[in-house]
Structures are given as structure tokens and as C-alpha cells.
């Protein structure tokens, strides 16, 4: 039977960052991850870091590669009605964003945890969590072909929407709010040099499109599609033709084509679980909340959660003071609902709504026109996009 102070389930950004922040405070952790190291380091996810998220990685000593290889952006572009409209993030807020893939953040955090002799058990399949009402929870898992147990003081559930952590809470103790959307994103990863200095969010009658990048040689692009869309039904030629159609506005800017390395469907949904704490279990990241990807907030919310959780746990281990833990859920949820609102707002503004009548379509156009024409409306978008200030209770 293994023993640790905090058992972290899930080696995504939330679990890895939490383990790293706790180690800096002298608190032992063991990370249990169901997948292999190769899988979690190659899983393509979000690529935009808010100003505060990038600063947090630097402050934690894991931002050096991000600063060397990431791409700092001072603006984003909205493309609609045949024109591009620049939202100047730096001018409006004094802050920037960093384009740096989530899998790269995961690589950096794993490398640092292992360099610091942190314990990460890959391919460790958790079958159950017991004793959350006691002061010694027990996690049962399979690793290296053997059934094993891990006892701890606290369990950090960072294992995503489908993980075992939230499912281990007794019925009725957590309320969930969810919303699905009548569309999804078809994601394309292409070996093609970016032709824009900024991300391009496009509203087209055929549907939304997003032009992003992962490196000076690789672009990441998305098309609005049906939730049941088969990505393999799209030929490479058909994908490029539709991306040109939705993203380009006839002003001379065009996108580079190249070999398509990956195609996948990203579902669109909103989800919030509250509270984010049940006794000795604390939820973080996608285990507690999911936002539509339009606002680029998923990884950023996960990193914000653990920046609140780490000092709260340290306070408990230092003096048995539960003040921070008691405030953890309310503090995070206040931010989560603001971010949820922003993500839904951007989604509705930019996506073709399948059942929208003429009245709703004109309102959508007026919203876009307002953001493009008004500094105050653009500032609202910019302030949310670069990231709201992080409030950590003292």
C-alpha cells in the first residue's frame, strides 16, 4: 500500500501543475494517469494561453521553452461581411496571449516533475475511490498488471469529464449544469506555414471557421460542422476549398495549403459541476467544468483552478486551517461562470445557428458590427480573451 499527502488523478495541465505547485511547497503527491506518457504528450488540444496563464508557468519555473518556441500575439482578427477587423488586445488591455499547444505545456510539466523526482504512474487505471468521508481516502488502481492501493489525505480529481473522481461522489452532493450545441468543430492540423500574424475568427454563412497556428511550420484550423460529422468523409481538397471559402475575404490574404497531418471532431458543450469539493475530494479542470472552445478557455480555467487550490492545500498541511479549502469552490466558480458566459457569447456571435430566423441573424450581424466599430465593445472582448484577473483568497 502506497501513501502520499495528495493523490492527483489525471496527468493533464491541471493535475501536473497542481503537483508541481505543491512540490514547491514541500507537499508530496502521486499522479495516477490512465493513459501512457506518449499518449498524453501527443494529445492535441487547446493552444492559447491567457496572459495570466503564461505568467503562472513562468513563475513556476516551467515557462522557458514556451518563451522560446511559443508565439506571442497582441491581437486577434474577426473576419465577417467580406472584411477583416482587428481586435487589438495589447492596446486595449496592456496584455498579450501566447499560442503554445496544450500538449507542449504537458510535456514541459512532465519533464519538470520527473526531473524533480516527482512520481507519475502512467497506465494506472483507477477503479475506485473510497473513504472520502474519512481523513484517509483510499484509491484502488491497477498498475503493472497488479491491483494496488494508495492512501492519502486529499484526492485531487483532475481526470476530465469522464473520469472516476466526480463519479465517486455520493448522489445528490454535486449539482451539474449542462448544455449541448447543434454543431461541432472539424479540426485540421496541417504542415503549412502560417500566413497570418494573428488568429482569425471567421463568421460565414456556411458556418464558423478558425485559423490558428502551432508553430512557424504548422497551422491548426477548424470548421463548424454537424456533431455527427465523419471527418474521413472530407477529402483534403474539399477541406482546403471550404477553409479558403470561409476564411478569406477577397482582400489579398490567403491561407497556405500543405499535407494534412490530422483530422478530428471536437464536440461543443458547456458543463459546470458545483460545488467543486466533496469532503476530501477536490475537483479541478474538465472534471468540474467544460466551456465551448470558441473563447480558448479550457486549459486556462484548469490552470486557474489549481493556482487557487495549491495554496489552500498548503495552508491546511501547514496549520490544519481549512479556510482556503472552504473557499476553493466558490472562488473558482465565480470565475468559471464569467468565463462560461464569455465563451457562450463568442460562440453565439460567430457560429451559424441552424434554426436561426432572419431576426436572430440580423442581431448576430449587429453584434459583430458593434464589436468591430466600438472600442468599448472591443475592449469587453479583449479583456475576457486575454484573461480575467485571478483572485486567490489570502
CA 223 to chain centre: 19
User: Could you tell me the strand order of the sheet in which 119-122 lies?
Assistant: 119-122, 29-33, 6-9, 154-157, 281-283, 277-278
- Residue where a domain terminates, one of 205, 231, 266: 266
- Domain assignment present for residue 87? The answer is no
Give the pLDDT of the chain (394 residues) as one tens digit per residue: 899 999 999 999 999 999 999 999 999 999 999 999 999 998 877 789 999 999 999 999 999 999 999 999 999 999 999 999 999 999 999 999 999 999 999 999 999 999 999 999 999 999 999 999 999 999 999 999 999 999 999 999 999 999 999 999 999 999 999 999 999 999 999 999 999 989 999 999 999 999 999 888 999 999 999 999 999 999 999 999 999 999 999 888 999 999 999 999 999 999 999 999 999 999 999 999 999 999 999 999 999 999 999 999 999 999 999 999 999 999 999 999 999 999 999 999 999 999 889 999 999 999 999 999 999 999 999 999 999 998 887 6
Q: Check whether the bond before 275 is cis (ω within 30° of 0).
A: yes
**149 & 289 share domain:** yes
Write out the DSSP string of 314-369.
HHHHHH---HHHHHHHHHHHHHHHHHHHHHHHHHHHHSPPTT--HHHHHHHHHHHH
Residues 172 and 316 in one domain: yes
Q: What is the pLDDT of residue 334?
A: 97
Please state the domain count of the chain: 2
| Beta strand ranges found along 89-194 (DSSP E) | 97-99, 119-122, 125-130, 138-143, 146-151, 154-157, 175-180, 184-190
pLDDT value at position 294?
Answer: 95
Q: Are 113 and 259 within one domain? A: no
Task: Measure the CA–CA gap between 334 and 391, rounded to whole angstroms.
Answer: 10
User: What pLDDT shows up at residue 394?
Assistant: 66
Same domain, 6 and 106: yes
* pLDDT score at 44: 77
Q: Which residues contact 270 (CB under 8 A, 6 or more apart)?
A: 177, 178, 179, 181, 290, 291, 292, 340, 343, 344
Please give the pLDDT value at position 391: 83
Query: For residue 97, what is the DSSP state?
Result: E
> Are the C-beta atoms of 89 and 383 separated by less than 8 Å?
no
Same domain? For 157 and 105 the reply is yes
Assess whether 144 and 188 both reside in one domain.
no
Cα distance between residue 87 and residue 24, in whole Å: 38
* Statement to judge: residues 167 and 314 lie in one domain: yes
d(CA 147, CA 16) in angstroms, rounded, equals 24
**Which residue numbers are catalytic?**
73, 201, 293, 297, 385
Q: Are 115 and 207 within one domain?
A: no
C-alpha cell recorded at residue 180: 449541448
Cβ 112 vs Cβ 58: under 8 Å: no
Beta bridge partners of 222: 187, 210
Number of neighbouring beta carbons within 10 Å of residue 73: 19
CB proximity list for 378: less than 8 A, separation 6 or greater: 87, 88, 92, 371, 372
Q: Are residues 200 and 166 in the same domain?
A: no
- The pTM score is 0.95
Could you list the residue range(s) of the whole structural domain that residue 302 is in? 2-73+97-180+269-354
> What are the phi and psi torsion angles at 129 (to 5°)?
-125, 130
The phi, psi pair for 63, rounded to 5°, reads -110, 5
Please tell me whether residues 303 and 164 are part of one structural domain: yes
Q: Among candidates 122, 93, 11, 36, which has minimal Cα distance to 376?
A: 93
Residue at a domain's end among 203, 236, 266: 266
Whole-angstrom CA distances from 87 to 45, 68, 234 are 24, 25, 32
Establish if 389 belongs to a structural domain: no
Tell how far CA 167 is from the center of its chain: 21
Residues 169, 328: Cα–Cα separation, whole Å:
17
Asked whether residue 148 falls in the same domain as residue 41, the answer is yes
Give the Å distances, CA to CA, from 223 to 12, 165, 215, 252, 354: 26, 33, 20, 21, 15
Residue 169 lies in a domain: yes
Amino acid at each position: 500500500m502506497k501513501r502520499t499527502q495528495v493523490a492527483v488523478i489525471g496527468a493533464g495541465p491541471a493535475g501536473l501543475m497542481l503537483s508541481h505547485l505543491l512540490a514547491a511547497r514541500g507537499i508530496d503527491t502521486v499522479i495516477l494517469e490512465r493513459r501512457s506518457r506518449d499518449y498524453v504528450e501527443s494529445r492535441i488540444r487547446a493552444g492559447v494561453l491567457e496572459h495570466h496563464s503564461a505568467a503562472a508557468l513562468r513563475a513556476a519555473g516551467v515557462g522557458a521553452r514556451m518563451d522560446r518556441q511559443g508565439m506571442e500575439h497582441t491581437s486577434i482578427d474577426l473576419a465577417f461581411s467580406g472584411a477583416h477587423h482587428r481586435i487589438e488586445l495589447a492596446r486595449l488591455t496592456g496584455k498579450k496571449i501566447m499560442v503554445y499547444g496544450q500538449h507542449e505545456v504537458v510535456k514541459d510539466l512532465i519533464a519538470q516533475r520527473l526531473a524533480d523526482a516527482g512520481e507519475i504512474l502512467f497506465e494506472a487505471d483507477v477503479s475506485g475511490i473510497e473513504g472520502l468521508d474519512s481523513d484517509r481516502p483510499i484509491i484502488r488502481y491497477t498498475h503493472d498488471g497488479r491491483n494496488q492501493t494508495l492512501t492519502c489525505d486529499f484526492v485531487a480529481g483532475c481526470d476530465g469529464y469522464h473520469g472516476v473522481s466526480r463519479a465517486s461522489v455520493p448522489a445528490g452532493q454535486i449539482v451539474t449544469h449542462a448544455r449541448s450545441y447543434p454543431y461541432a468543430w472539424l479540426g485540421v492540423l496541417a504542415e503549412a506555414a502560417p500566413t497570418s500574424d494573428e488568429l482569425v475568427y471567421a463568421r460565414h454563412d456556411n458556418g464558423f471557421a478558425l485559423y490558428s497556428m502551432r508553430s512557424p511550420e504548422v497551422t491548426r484550423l477548424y470548421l463548424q460542422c454537424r456533431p455527427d460529422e465523419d471527418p474521413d468523409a472530407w477529402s483534403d481538397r474539399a477541406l482546403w476549398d471550404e477553409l479558403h471559402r470561409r476564411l478569406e475575404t477577397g482582400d489579398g490574404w490567403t491561407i497556405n495549403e500543405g499535407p494534412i497531418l490530422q483530422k478530428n471532431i471536437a464536440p461543443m458543450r458547456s458543463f459546470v459541476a458545483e460545488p467543486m469539493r466533496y469532503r476530501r475530494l477536490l475537483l479541478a479542470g474538465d472534471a468540474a467544468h467544460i466551456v465551448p472552445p470558441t473563447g480558448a478557455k479550457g486549459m486556462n480555467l484548469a490552470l486557474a483552478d489549481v493556482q487557487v487550490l495549491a495554496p489552500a492545500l498548503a495552508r491546511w498541511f501547514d496549520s490544519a486551517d481549512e479556510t482556503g479549502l472552504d473557499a476553493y469552490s466558490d472562488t473558482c466558480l465565480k470565475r468559471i461562470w464569467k468565463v462560461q458566459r464569455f465563451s457562450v457569447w463568442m460562440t453565439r456571435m460567430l457560429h451559424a445557428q441552424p434554426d436561426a430566423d432572419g431576426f436572430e441573424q440580423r442581431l448576430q450581424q449587429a453584434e459583430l458590427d458593434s464589436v468591430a466599430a466600438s472600442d468599448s465593445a472591443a475592449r469587453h472582448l479583449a479583456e475576457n480573451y486575454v484573461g480575467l484577473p485571478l483572485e486567490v483568497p489570502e
